[in-house]
Chain A
């Protein structure tokens, strides 16, 4: 098996707040790795430690203990940084710059020559649908436009690994779909994508593997197919009884055929029958509830 591109071993972060230096453990011994070419989702409720972990990976904050490695090098290694692209959560950029200047500035920080930087800037602006707004100052950009510009600047170095912190936050459904498609296209280019999100449907649609983090600890990590129970949870049946909709949930032991036959004989129309297996949301809620029960 190829070497992991991201390796996190027993990573911990404790913050000290206030005059009395009250200690808060934000991350408590995380261990996981991300393999080349996969899309890895990092899922957790607000305050679970997702952004803190990503910031440690990106060299923005220092771990209290443990190690994080990018492309086999201990963070923050300049050589590894050259091969990584990063989109921070709700990105803030220099308002005085235009979109084109911002992406170009990012390219300069990678020491890219103008002959590479300029065409790539235009290509990326086109990719994220900002060519028309490329000459506008960033203070005129909407949240969604800033998010897309953030993605463009993260890709200026044609990175092997792309780390995205909440890339879908603040986007409307169309914007979310565009980012999802973009992440999908990164996978087809062979890039590794590590992203955090609490929008579980996106994670479920995109990820090869994911980790669930709750209160600074990993609860589950692995391929979604393994994490989610293959068992049938229930079958949702929607009926139409003389214009009045009726919804029933049949447990796995109940005979669906018999139920439908009886309903049709009773004059009802069957609108839909949906077998429900476990989704990421169910797993997520289960983990969070288990954590709350432990408290």
Chain B
């Protein structure tokens, strides 16, 4: 456990000294702050706009940070040969991948927390009083970030950052559109149930990221909104978190399997 922690801490330290990540983070915080200015242009909807822009910003920039850092995580170690000195130390390869992932999770936790604090301060200035709805919304986005990170790390064990980034972004886009894709399949392949079930199965295998950004949509046929007081319950958040963490664990297990069989030539 100590060794995993040492690798995680080192990864965290490395990420926190990366100027590019800071640049993205500062940009994200500026966008969230700008929601306050955009809100001023609306008619008594300042808080609503701040919430929408702020959560959208955390979602998009959280995922960008996760992809950017995740696709480089293992690839960079192999490419720069930094792991040559450390794999021969008394660690298992799975400990190395897990440590790297946890270090990145630590980094992204700090970054999502910072973006959330900026959003909450912006909303507090506009008269918002803290409630569980925003905590649940941010928690769901955070789990989404962890899942996307696991996917990016998985690709980084065998592919270049450019391709890994493309694959991860593709999975993110598909994952966020699962209800639309299911409806599309249902409509297009009405006469071909075997094709429809094959496509549905494929969607089933990919992560359902729509679970984590529910405001404005339907959850079990009921509209969910962060504005109208009809947001998802804690039980829903717990279920979605379980799904997200379980999916991440499976993807990480695959990443570890591939990494454990690799030759570091």
Contacts and interface: CB of A to CB of B under 8 A. Distances in A.
Is the A/B pair a real complex? yes
A72 interface: no
B3 A58 contact: no
B13 A109 contact: no
A15 B265 contact: yes
Closest 4 CB pairs of A and B: A108-B6, A61-B263, A58-B88, A88-B84
Nearest to A75: B88
Interface residues of A, number: 33
Interface of B: 2-3, 6-7, 10, 13-14, 17-18, 80-82, 84-92, 261, 263-265
12 contacts: A60-B84, A78-B92, A81-B88, A82-B90, A88-B81, A88-B84, A94-B82, A106-B86, A108-B2, A109-B90, A109-B91, A111-B90
Nearest to B95: A109
A87 B84 CA distance: 9
B89 A109 contact: yes
Nearest to A101: B13
Contacts of B2: 108, 111
Could you tell me the dominant secondary structure of chain B's interface residues?
A: loop
A124 interface: no
A88 B85 contact: yes
A245 interface: no
Contacts of A141: none
A268 B264 CA distance: 61
A221 B89 CA distance: 28
Contact of B87 (A58, A62, A97): A58
A88 to B, nearest CB: 4
Nearest to B261: A62
Interface in A10-53: 15
Contact of A96 (B6, B14, B85): B14
A92 B81 contact: yes
